[in-house]
């Protein structure tokens, strides 16, 4: 017997409809590429998203055709999120920090038909358009008066003229909720990138889950600043969850430096912010020397890379801001786990609570996870056994776009490429990317643990631990360190700092001071590149 409830497809257009009808006055504030602040409401987003949909119809774009963006976090990008997907096309957010060759490759692989871009990326578009014959129109996210006269880009339109020519009325089409809605290529440090192709259903389920109290805890009373880019896994789904909850959205545009982010947090009374550790590093680096405080910020979700304990401490102890450590990946829309305490942890001593907060957290309802040993057998949830982390769920990829890379699943589970422990309470902790794990004398050393200790030293701005070949132990850890400007620490002082904080054999053999740690397009440390940079390095005594 089937249930007798209504069946309505879960479609992204319903999110913006909801926001318009129930939170129409809710504000969207954006720092624009032009540098000024733009303000309007969810009502405006909805009206303009409908104009976008009409403009795409006017170009004769078919169902599922791809519309690409090269854009910062801002209101026009938000309109494209809803206008493109809501009208049945697929929004392809491209990471502008990728190499132009890779961007051209991605645009061709995705078969993008329209490319919308912020004017910051005009030189990038000029560099690639000749290699992207499939793109039939380029839309610059600006007023008509700002279009360059001689850009050399064919069919270049101004966004405002293009969509502004259409009425704000539009009936969103209804279709199968499993239809593709957006896509995002993985950063792929080896080989060509592969795309996760999200559906309306996966996006809406993820948006519901992301808003839950033990996840991002979003509400109509929040003012939310996603520093995490809208070109990286849909800004962790925040634009969708924001429409669902009606929270205020504050977009930083291209200005992600500590000073600009701090000003926006204060001026827009932001209660909740989300980003990768490197962004928060810049923010804290700006606040401390200037003796600044937060007046409204309560929570910040940090993910994308392991959050160093020193950062959790600084937010918590110095500024009274709760850090929520999150883990996920492009292939997971992206949220998998988030770290919040359980009721019975509340009275634990501070250092015990800290040990929990450092973990990547508990699985969100909708995500199943397991850890598996080298023999393929599932490992116990005891907080000690570590193995390859596998996930499954309705917002986890089943297959990459165009079947690239073959079937990624193993007995229905997606191998994340991360190595983790899970404790009896279900808290997962990443010890490494599987390719970054260091094996010394048959024992595994977690590079994240080694990095976290170095990061707690006041003179250290950033630290990356890699394994170096060793004739006796196979591999030994070495820590590459960027010093804080003006701060001093010697190799021996830093190695001494490890004493008592970890087992002796896990202390790195050496410290290499570097000017910068190479970062990938999403702000993650690129250890492959660091290894290349240090290819002539020799461990002391070898």
Per annotation, catalytic residue among 331, 413, 431, 473:
331
How far CA 281 is from CA of 287, 357, 523, in Å, comes to 10, 18, 12
Note whether 304 binds ligand AMP by CB under 6 A.
yes
The residue whose two tokens read 């947090």 is 265
Note whether 74 binds ligand AMP by CB under 6 A.
no
CB of 351 to ligand AMP, least distance (A): 20
Indicate the SS3 state at residue 172. Answer: coil
The answer to whether 249 touches 239, Cβ cutoff 8 Å, is: yes
Note whether 96 binds ligand AMP by CB under 6 A.
no
Note whether 506 binds ligand AMP by CB under 6 A.
no
Respond yes or no: is residue 330 known to be catalytic.
no
Sites for ligand AMP among residues 395-434 (CB under 6 A): 416-418, 430, 433
Which of 206, 325, 362, 527 contacts ligand AMP by CB under 6 A?
325
Q: Which is nearer to ligand AMP, 41 or 528 (CB)?
A: 528
Indicate the SS3 state at residue 122. Answer: helix
Q: Which is nearer to ligand AMP, 76 or 92 (CB)?
A: 92
Q: Please name the residue ranges forming H helices in 333-438.
A: 350-357
> Which window, 115-123, 136-144, 261-269, 324-332, contacts ligand AMP (CB under 6 A)?
324-332
Note whether 69 binds ligand AMP by CB under 6 A.
no
Per annotation, catalytic residue among 439, 496, 501, 538:
439
Q: Which is nearer to ligand AMP, 300 or 522 (CB)?
A: 522
- The residue count for binding ligand AMP (CB under 6 A) is 21
Respond yes or no: is residue 444 known to be catalytic.
yes
Sites for ligand AMP among residues 127-146 (CB under 6 A): none
Q: Please name the residue ranges forming H helices in 231-374.
A: 233-236, 238-245, 258-267, 277-287, 309-313, 319, 350-357
Note whether 522 binds ligand AMP by CB under 6 A.
yes
- Tell me, letter by letter, the H, E, C secondary structure of 6-38: CCCCCCHHHHHHHHHHHHCCCEEEEECCCCCEE
486-503 CB burial, b ≥16 within 10 A, e <16? eeebeeeebbebbeeebe
Note whether 440 binds ligand AMP by CB under 6 A.
no
The answer to whether 392 touches 455, Cβ cutoff 8 Å, is: no
* CA pair distance 523, 413, nearest whole angstrom: 27
Query: φ and ψ at 381, to 5 degrees?
Result: -90, 80
Q: Which is nearer to ligand AMP, 300 or 305 (CB)?
A: 305
Note whether 309 binds ligand AMP by CB under 6 A.
no
* CA pair distance 196, 202, nearest whole angstrom: 12
Note whether 360 binds ligand AMP by CB under 6 A.
yes
The answer to whether 283 touches 262, Cβ cutoff 8 Å, is: yes
Which of 327, 400, 413, 497 contacts ligand AMP by CB under 6 A?
327
* CA pair distance 368, 379, nearest whole angstrom: 14
Note whether 187 binds ligand AMP by CB under 6 A.
yes
Report the DSSP pairing between strands 248-251 and 27-31: parallel
How far CA 157 is from CA of 161, 251, 527, in Å, comes to 7, 24, 40
Q: Which is nearer to ligand AMP, 132 or 282 (CB)?
A: 282
Respond yes or no: is residue 331 known to be catalytic.
yes
Which of 45, 106, 329, 517 contacts ligand AMP by CB under 6 A?
329
Closest-CA residue to 527 (of 439, 452, 437): 437
Closest-CA residue to 255 (of 287, 290, 279, 238): 279
CB of 304 to ligand AMP, least distance (A): 5
Report the DSSP pairing between strands 443-445 and 272-275: unpaired
Respond yes or no: is residue 20 known to be catalytic.
no
Which of 229, 239, 275, 303 contacts ligand AMP by CB under 6 A?
303
Dihedral angle sign, alpha carbons of residues 289, 294, 299, 304: negative
Note whether 369 binds ligand AMP by CB under 6 A.
no
How far CA 258 is from CA of 32, 273, 286, 461, 489, in Å, comes to 17, 13, 5, 14, 24
Sites for ligand AMP among residues 205-234 (CB under 6 A): 233
CB of 309 to ligand AMP, least distance (A): 12
CB of 314 to ligand AMP, least distance (A): 17
CB of 65 to ligand AMP, least distance (A): 25
10 Å CB burial of residue 119 (0-12, 13-18, 19+) is middle
Q: Which is nearer to ligand AMP, 30 or 452 (CB)?
A: 452
Note whether 305 binds ligand AMP by CB under 6 A.
yes
Q: Which is nearer to ligand AMP, 297 or 302 (CB)?
A: 302
For binding to ligand AMP (CB under 6 A), which residues are involved? 186-187, 233, 303-306, 325-330, 334, 360, 416-418, 430, 433, 522
State the catalytic residues. 186, 331, 439, 444
């Amino acid at each position: 017997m089937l249930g007798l409830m209504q069946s309505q497809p879960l479609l992204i257009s319903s999110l913006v409809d909801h926001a318009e009808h129930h939170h129409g006055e809710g504000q969207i504030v954006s720092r624009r590429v032009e540098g000024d602040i733009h303000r309007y409401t969810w009502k405006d987003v909805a009206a303009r998203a409908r104009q976008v949909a009409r403009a795409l119809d006017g170009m004769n774009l078919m169902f599922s055709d791809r519309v690409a963006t090269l854009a910062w976090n801002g209101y026009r990008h938000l309109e494209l999120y809803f206008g493109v997907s809501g009208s049945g096309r697929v929004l392809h957010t491209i990471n502008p920090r990728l190499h132009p060759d890779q961007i051209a490759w991605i645009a061709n692989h995705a078969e993008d038909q329209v490319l919308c871009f912020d004017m910051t990326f005009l030189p990038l578009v000029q560099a690639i358009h000749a290699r992207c014959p499939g793109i039939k129109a380029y839309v610059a996210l600006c007023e008509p008066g700002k279009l360059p006269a001689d850009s050399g880009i064919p069919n270049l339109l101004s966004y405002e003229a293009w969509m502004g020519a259409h009425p704000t009325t539009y009936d969103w089409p209804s279709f199968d909720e499993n239809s593709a809605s957006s896509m995002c290529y993985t950063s792929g440090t080896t080989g060509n990138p592969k795309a996760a192709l999200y559906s309306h259903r996966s996006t809406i389920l993820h948006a519901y889950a992301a808003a839950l109290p033990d996840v991002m805890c979003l509400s109509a009373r929040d003012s939310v600043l996603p520093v995490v880019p809208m070109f990286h896994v849909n800004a962790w789904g925040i634009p969708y969850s924001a429409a669902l909850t009606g929270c205020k959205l504050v977009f930083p545009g291209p200005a992600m430096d500590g000073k600009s982010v701090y000003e926006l947090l204060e001026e827009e009374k932001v209660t909740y912010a989300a980003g990768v550790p490197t962004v928060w590093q810049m923010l804290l680096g700006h606040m401390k020397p200037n003796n600044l405080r937060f007046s409204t910020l309560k929570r910040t979700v940090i993910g994308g890379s392991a959050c160093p304990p020193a950062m959790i401490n600084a937010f918590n102890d110095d500024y009274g801001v709760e850090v929520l450590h999150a883990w996920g990946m492009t292939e997971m829309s992206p949220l998998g786990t988030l770290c919040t305490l359980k009721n019975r942890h509340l009275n634990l001593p501070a250092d015990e609570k800290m040990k929990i907060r450092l973990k990547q957290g508990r699985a969100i309802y909708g995500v199943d996870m397991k850890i598996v040993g080298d023999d393929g057998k599932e490992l116990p949830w005891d907080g000690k056994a570590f193995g390859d982390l596998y996930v499954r769920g309705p917002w986890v990829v089943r297959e990459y776009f165009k079947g690239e890379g073959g079937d990624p699943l193993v007995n229905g589970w997606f191998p994340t490429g991360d190595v983790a422990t899970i404790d009896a309470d279900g808290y997962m902790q990443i010890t490494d990317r599987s390719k970054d794990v260091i094996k010394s004398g048959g024992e595994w050393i977690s590079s994240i643990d080694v990095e976290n200790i170095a990061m707690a030293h006041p003179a250290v701005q950033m630290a990356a631990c890699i394994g170096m070949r060793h004739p006796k132990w196979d591999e030994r850890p070495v820590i590459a360190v960027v010093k804080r400007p003006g701060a001093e620490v010697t190799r021996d002082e830093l190695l001494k700092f490890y004493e008592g904080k970890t087992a002796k054999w896990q202390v790195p053999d050496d410290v290499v001071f570097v000017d910068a740690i190479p970062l990938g397009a999403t702000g993650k440390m690129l250890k492959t590149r660091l290894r290349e940079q240090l290819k002539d390095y020799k461990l002391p005594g070898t």
